[in-house]
Every structure is written in C-alpha cells, then in structure tokens.
A and B are shown apart, each in its own frame.
Chain A
C-alpha cells in the first residue's frame, strides 16, 4: 500500500493493484515506464492485466519517452473538487505520445492526461495556458507525492519546434 496527499486529496494504491503500484512506483523514481506485450509487441496505457490488442497477459515494463503533442484539452474555470477551487483556471491536456502514435489504427495513440504545469512544476498561470492548445509539443515531468507515488504532468517542450499557433477555443 502506498499513499499520500496531493492538494488536499488523499491518494492511495492497494498492494493488490499491482499494475498501478508498479506504474506509479516507476514515476516516483522519475521513470515513465509502460507495459509492452510480449506477444504482439504493442505498448499499452493505462496499466492493465492483459493486452487490449491481443489479450496476452505476458508483458515487460519498458522505458518510454515522455513526450508528445496535445490532442485535445479542457480548461476548468469552475472546479468541482474543493481542493482545486483556488487553482482555477487550470488546464487538462490529453496528449498523444510520440511512441506508437497512429498505431494500431491511424486514429489511435497512447493518450496520457495531465495538467499543464510550468518549468517549476507548478500549475500553469493563465498567461501560459493562453499559449497552449491542440498541436502544442509537451514533455512529461513528475510531481512526487510520496515514496512509491508520483504523478506525471505536462510542460512545454523547449527542446523542440512548436507549431506557429496551436488551435485554441475561440476567445471573444
């Protein structure tokens, strides 16, 4: 069992939930690892017991590059959770990982969600949020909650060329 608090939320993973325990454990060591099927070779996310592409249960945890492109997003201005009400607006990014993008079908990708954060790992300011949209290149950073549990977040990828103007919801 690992547990910890993040923004007033009580987070935990039981010992029975071995896949999540392993996934978030690697995150707490600063490693982004996903399960790769030993049968068909596809990587999968979220962590699970069997391969969603061939149902095989044999896998290995492989190191994956935590980088990709914003596929879509939501921008929360009214928080539902009390602990987040002081953090609005905040951005939820759904990111297509570069690895395995367009496989097994052209419309698929390993999509990993997370908030947009700044270089220091803090939830992004409204100014930074205004620069990010569909098409923005992002890379993964981790926020350690406790031993054995860190959460992945997304930040602007400074090491790659950004699209001229990412697509954003039309402003008035």
Chain B
C-alpha cells in the first residue's frame, strides 16, 4: 500500500463486507407485524451468512415511525446487543447505515451488525402518502407546501423532473424505458410483485398521477422486511457465502437545503452531483469500472437523474442513457436486475443492495435450475437473456448502489466480489 492509499478515506477500502442478506416475500397484505417481518428477514440473512444469534452483536434500522425498534427484535431472536441504533429515515438510509455499521465496528463497539428495514408499506403506513399520513393536521413549515396538495414524494419531486425535460429535451418515451427494462428484469425474478413485462406504450397510456408521472412511472407499494449483515472482511472467509467487499460508501449527501431542495439550482441536478466527489476517489474506481448499478427507482426519473449526475453519462444525456439498452440484461451495465422498486417491491433501497450482493456472488435467485451437488443453493446460470429464465449478469466484479431520498439527498455504496 502506498502512503497515499494509507490516508483516509481509502484506508477502510476492502476491510468490510456484506456477508449475509435476507428478506420476506414482497406482498400486499403481509398479515404480520413489522416486528414479525423483521424477525423473519433477519433470520433469513443469518442463515444465508451461516451466523448464529450469538455471533451478531450489533443492530441498526431506519424508519419513518412505521416500524419496530432493534432491541425488541433482538430479544425475539436471542441476540444480545453490544450496539444498536434506530434512526429516522427513508430512501438513501440503507447505504448510509452500512457506513455507520463499519464505523461502529471500527470504533470497537461491536463486531457484526445486522441492518434491517421492516415496513407494511401497503397495509399500514402507505408509502404513496394516502391514508393516515394525508389526513394529519398541517402545521408550521408544512404550510408552505401541503395545503397546495404538494405532499407525496411524486408531487414533491415532479417540478425537478419536469425541469429536466425543459433543460435537456428529455422525452417521456426515453424515461419510460426505465420501467420497461426493470419489468423485463422482474420477469426473471420469482420474488417480484409485478412480473409482467410492459412496453413504452403501456407506461405512457397508464393514467396520469402527477405530470410528468404516469402510474407506471411510480414504484409499487408493498409490505416487506429486508436485512443485511456487515462485518470485517477477514471474518467473511469463515462464512458460507462469497463476501461483497465494501470499496466505498457515501451517506445522506445533501444539497444546501434538503427539505426545500428546489431553493438551490439547477433543480434538475440531484445529490449525485456532490456524491461523485466522494465516492469515486474513495472507491478508487471510475464509472467505467462498474459492472452493475442499483439506481434507486422510486420513479423512473430518479434512476435517470442519478445515473447522469454520478457521471455514467454526460449531464443532460440521462434520457439517452436509460433508453439505449445499456441498463438491460446483456447490456454494458445492467441496472436493478431484480426489477427494483418499480417492479420487485418497495423497501427504501435495501432490495437493490441485496440484489447486487447476490449478483457479486454470481448466484441470483432466478428461474435457472439449482445445482444439486452444491452445498449452498447455487443455480446453474445460463447468462442467456433470451429465454426469460436467467437474470445473473456474467462476471460481475464491481457493483454500485445509488440511493435516493429526495432530489437533494442521496447515498451510495460501491462493492466488489470477493
């Protein structure tokens, strides 16, 4: 290691890994509490890693007052915690918490951290904003937007999306391709809530929700819990799976104001514009080195805006990038191979990290047959994308997650195989 590499921020590069991932089914009507959902997802992640309750001593989660706190779930699973932290947050928290888990271990507070997000995003607190959240009294700062019917995520972000079309000539047809491609990916994912491939015409003829967003430009609302386990990379080699080593992480990078992000222009520029100054030098790579992306798709537009501002294409060329076929299975850099939030299920970003971990292992859960001679559930992937079975990308070495909370707030995680 050279002196330059020994200096922060690169000195933690490769030292930590995600060693286990797990989730529940993506449903509408889980019939379970968020506490039960989280317990299932965490146990699935522990089994995936080959870790017992006694080997986990840290737990973290995030929520918007719609979930269950770590100590309750730890108790249910017989995990004695040396560290826990439950924070407020939504999209872009997943990557940030991976970084905080590394920090907690580095500080000597604990050794192995499970991160979870558990939500009944359809049955209880609806992520789209309808129901209880929409009928709350309007107080203080909310008076500047909520009385205008400017409330849900789609409504809040729509002027940023619209301005991108104005600034750069981005077309509805180009952006619709994000949904088209993610739906093709989801058709090879047994877990996906929506498995049927759609066309550009399907997207543009679906009903308008908030211009420029049609119904199919918006993500699905589901009930689910997701979990991932972070520990030191040297410990990973004693566990069941090929580790996903963490090259770099950036967490909750913001525009100068994150609540009223549109105060700071250009409003069609998003947090990725700032994150790229952190994530690329810390990871020691460039966009060209990335094999697969997980660009958060709360809406079709969020995927495009992020890929553009992180530097996967020139500013303003996001429409070309997402409609070119680069993001497709078999393309140069597939995005959200599980179908993401538009098709698989809505988890505030966790499922996109889980998918990339599995891609790095070379073992996504598609429709390819299982190798009966393998000790783990290893599938015999064809990497042939014409047969509607396989979604494993060939020779994945580096993945990147691009987490989105708002146009002004985002996080990122770069991982490598091994």
Contact = CB atoms under 8 A, between A and B. Distances in A.
Given A11-B143, A80-B128, A115 B262 contact: no
Interface string B143-159: 11111111110010011
A92 B148 contact: yes
B207 A80 contact: no
A13 B212 contact: no
Contacts of A17: 139-140
A46 B137 contact: no
Nearest to A85: B149
Interface string A51-84: 0100000000000000000011111111111101
Contacts of B140: 13-14, 17, 20
A100 to B, nearest CB: 12
B391 to A, nearest CB: 32
A90 B208 CA distance: 12
Given A78-B207, A92-B155, A169 B212 contact: yes
Given A12-B139, A170-B172, A52 B257 contact: yes
B376 interface: no
B134 A72 contact: no
A74 B158 contact: yes
A11 B148 CA distance: 12
B141 A20 contact: yes
Contacts of A72: 159-160, 162-163, 166, 262, 267
B260 A46 contact: yes
Contacts of B257: 52
B129 interface: yes
Interface in B141-189: 141, 143-152, 155, 158-160, 162-163, 165-166, 171-172
A108 B255 CA distance: 12
B208 A84 contact: no
Contact of A82 (B134, B172, B267): B134
A167 B264 CA distance: 21
B130 A74 contact: no
Interface string B235-265: 0000000000000000000001100101111
B109 interface: no
| Chain A CB within 10 Å, residue with most, of B138, B150, B207 | B150
Interface string B116-136: 000000000000111000110
A77 B210 contact: yes
B267 to A, nearest CB: 6
Given A10-B138, A108-B264, A134-B166, A76 B210 contact: yes
A107 interface: yes
A80 B160 contact: no
B266 interface: yes
B209 interface: yes
B149 A79 contact: yes
B211 A84 contact: no
Nearest to A145: B147
A94 B261 CA distance: 12
Given A77-B207, A78-B210, A94-B262, A7 B155 contact: no
| Chain A CB within 10 Å, residue with most, of B172, B211, B265 | B211
Contact of A92 (B159, B207, B208, B265): B159
B315 to A, nearest CB: 13
B199 to A, nearest CB: 16
A157 B52 CA distance: 68
Contacts of A40: none
Contact of B146 (A9, A75, A76): A9
Nearest to B159: A72
A45 B260 CA distance: 10
A111 interface: yes
A80 B128 CA distance: 8
A84 B210 CA distance: 13
A81 B143 contact: no
A167 B166 CA distance: 7
Nearest to A44: B263
Given A72-B159, A72-B163, A78-B210, A87 B137 contact: no
Nearest to A20: B140
A32 interface: no
Given A20-B140, A108-B264, A78 B212 contact: no
7 contacts: A71-B159, A72-B163, A72-B267, A74-B150, A74-B210, A80-B149, A107-B266
Interface of A: 6-7, 9-14, 17, 20, 24, 45-46, 52, 71-82, 84, 87, 90, 92, 94, 105, 107-111, 113-115, 134, 151, 167, 169-170, 172
